[in-house]
Amino acid sequence: MAIGIISAMPEEVQSLIDVLQHVSVSEKGMRSYYKGTINSKEVVIAFSRWGKVASAITATQMINDFNLEEIIFTGVSGSLEGSLNVGDIVLGTEMYQHDMDTTPLFKKFEIPLLGKSFFETKNNEKLENAAASFASHIKDHVPVEKLEQFKIEAVQVKKGAILSGDQFISSKSKVAELKKEIPNALCVEMEGASVAQVCFEYDIPFSIIRIISDNANDDAPIDFPEFTKAVACKYAKGILEKYID
């Protein structure tokens, strides 16, 4: 059985493909699925594209075409928690679709017919240990000048709820609204909870790693393409290599 790895950033996908051995590629639905081995473990890697529908398509195709034991999602996200800084790592525990609202038919956030407002992730101590090991040796993976450029010092690893929605969150008022509704939410992005729903319906264990790239408000502009290329892709590669080893 293989580990499925899906990323929202093509740079992260490429960093993993670069260390993939015995590679074969399948092309379906405008996506490429790279099958091979990392540290002798069979993996399948794909770029999810952006948004809930695109990521759900990718996960569904991967599950149906490959014999998977689990799916791990990686990517960047905006912080909803004041104690989180750029470069910190969030491991999702509950995945909410923050733009799901079918009231008064169902409670806000509840997924119709499933009776769930969020999807639990795999309780993955091994992944947590891999992230902690990476964080404590960050200078072995990311050049010091890049850490300084993005003011990354002691990297934190935190666990908590992650919110997904087809919206780019960039205002303090929206951050405050989300935190009021889901107080344990740590970060917000656009794909994870939809993949979590697919994995729930197919009974596939799901885990997610998110790297904080900004504070999800207009006070935190960074060179996003440079952060993704120089920093985030190093996180994905480093953490997953440790996990698979």
Q: Which residues are catalytic?
A: 12, 214
Q: How far is CA 243 from CA 124, 129, 133, 155, in A?
A: 10, 8, 10, 18
The token duo for 243 is 């996990």
Cα-Cα end-to-end distance for the chain:
16
Q: How far is CA 14 from CA 9, 153, 196, in A?
A: 9, 26, 23
Q: How far is CA 182 from CA 77, 109, 111, in A?
A: 17, 10, 16
Q: Do 196 and 206 contact (CB within 8 A), yes or no?
A: yes
CA 109 distance to own-chain centroid: 20
